[in-house]
Amino acid sequence: MAFFEVSSLFSKLGLSSTSDQTIVASITLFVTLLCACIVIGHLLEENRWMNESITAIFIVGSVYWDCDSADKWRKSSHILVFSEDLFFIYLLPPIIFNAGFQVKKKQFFRNFMTIILFGAFGTLISFFTISFGAVEIFGRMKLDSLDIGDFLAIGAIFSATDSVCTLQVLNQDETPLLYSLVFGEGVVNDATSVVLFNAVQNFDLTHINTKILFQLTGNFLYLFVISTFLGVIAGLLSAYAIKKLYFGRHSTDREVALMILMAYLSYMIAELFDLSAILTVFFCGIVMSHYTWHNVTESSRVTTKHAFATLSFMAEIFIFLYVGTDAMDIEKWRFVRSSPGESIAVSSILLGLVLIGRAAFVFPLSFLSNFAKRNPSDKIEFKQQITIWWAGLMRGAVSVALAYNKFTRLGHTQLRGNAIMITSTITVVLFSTVVFGFLTKPLIRLLLPTMRHSSSMLSSEPSSPKSFIVPLLGNDQDFEADAEADKSTSVPRPTSIRMLLTAPTHTVHRYWRKFDDRFMRPVFGGRGFAPFVPGSPTEQSVHLPDHN
């Protein structure tokens, strides 16, 4: 019975269970590649061209083509096949949660409206642009087995961006506005793309009319709002439970375990009810960093900080290798071998639609955002607009996972049109990751000269999202600095709607802080509101001598 359970597990992971030796060999090879990516990525940290994603792809390619057992590898290239279930259920949650857990909340919410403008409405514009282009162009090419629902799914698939390469180059302290926009838009974009994809899948699109469009819009807004609300509730529930019960008095392991499980539980509940699990776990991470993290012991803080960052880091590298090894599976390429020109044409058209769809909203929405802002420092300069446009050109594992979900069954397809879409998706992902990723560092250094020395920063830099040494939640210092700034700076209270619209960021931020201090933090904990229990986070601060 145990053997069948193990076989079923490896089947879910995309591993062939023909023999124990084959399974062990494939896992050993993959873990070796993971270690190689980490080591080589560290050695190439100062390189202006390379990053982890490109390193992973080149390592897979070199092993595939150069190893002595290349023939055996090619024959068994289906040992590791991309599984959208493995990606969405196991690999994506730690990445998105850590993104919310370590985000600088003050900067994120200061630019929240612009982030939503780019991440939600911008993704919708890109979706319609790519879908319309697919209908017009691929419809004339008469690809087999593709209908209007497939073309709309293509729009959702290629609206999902992967801005990891750009975020590895940008610096939160030197370009806080640009970093928060690229980072926030990337998370909201992925969530919006998945919501759009699921919405398209759940409707009969053979006859599109006004009613269908309103239903799609309503379903999208419903999923967006409810998913965010669920993440906030899960984070608050974990904060309240740890604050009231205070597990740390007996075992810090329970605190760490509860935080990890509550975060994952929020993601799975969202998946269970067909919500946007990405949005849910992202906002759960934000709420946990603001409340829950301050209610645990100091050792639990250090443990969770390192655990979340390490899991996210490993999952990212795993995904890059995962996509790369699946791309080497020769089975799926046999369907397009008879017409390679058509496959190249489809890939080129998709890449062109990605470029156009990205530009269709970045520059117009940037103009709209700048028009609504009075402070020049908050406006998006043209060079920054180009950087934002470039950051969203790369496609990643989300696009691959959605393509597999739409055009394959258990990772395989017997339809020529579906096979072309799968291979074209992989081609666009690999090309955009390698070529655009290669040019990201020099382009940003050309557009933003102040970033020239940012890549040489040590890991102790507080702004580094990959840092394991310093606290990931630098927003606490920002919070205190903002409080002091408000005390020392007299800002007139808004006496009319016009004044509120003139400086909405500052007023909303101040009102939220008052509401948070008066109602939320006394109930759910947080900085300065943790219960005083022997061994608690507040014990050290209480017994410290007063130097004032």
- With a cut of 50, say whether residue 2 has pLDDT above it: no
Mapping DSSP onto H, E and C, the string for 168-192 reads HHCCCCCCHHHHHHHHHHHHHHHHH
Please give the average per-residue pLDDT across 210-226, as a whole number.
Answer: 80
49-63, 321-335, 378-392: which is most confident: 378-392
Report the pLDDT value the prediction gives residue 207, as an integer from 0 to 100. 67
Quick one: pLDDT at residue 328?
A: 65
Question: pLDDT tens, 260-303?
Answer: 999 999 999 999 998 889 989 999 999 999 999 988 888 888 99
Mean per-residue pLDDT, 331-354: 81
Q: Which two tokens stand for residue 238?
A: 């974990």
pLDDT at 230 over 90: yes
409 - beta bridge partners? Answer: 412
Residue 506 has pLDDT above 70, yes or no: no
Q: Residues with Cβ < 8 Å from 544, sequence gap 6 or more?
A: none
Nearest to 289 by CA among 232, 241, 229: 232
For residue 537, pLDDT beyond 50: no
For 462, residues 6+ apart whose C-beta sits below 8 A from its C-beta are: 173, 470, 471, 474
- DSSP class of residue 513 equals H
Please state whether the predicted TM-score (pTM) of the whole model is above 0.85: no
State the residue for tokens 């205070």. Answer: 246
Q: For position 318, what pLDDT does the model report?
A: 83
The pLDDT of residue 65 is 53
pLDDT tens for 167-180 read: 777 777 778 888 88
- pLDDT attached to residue 236: 95
- Give the model's confidence band at 443: pLDDT under 50 very low, under 70 low, under 90 confident, else very high: confident
Is the confidence at residue 494, as pLDDT, over 60?
Answer: no
Structure-model confidence comparison of residues 74 and 257, the more confident one: 257
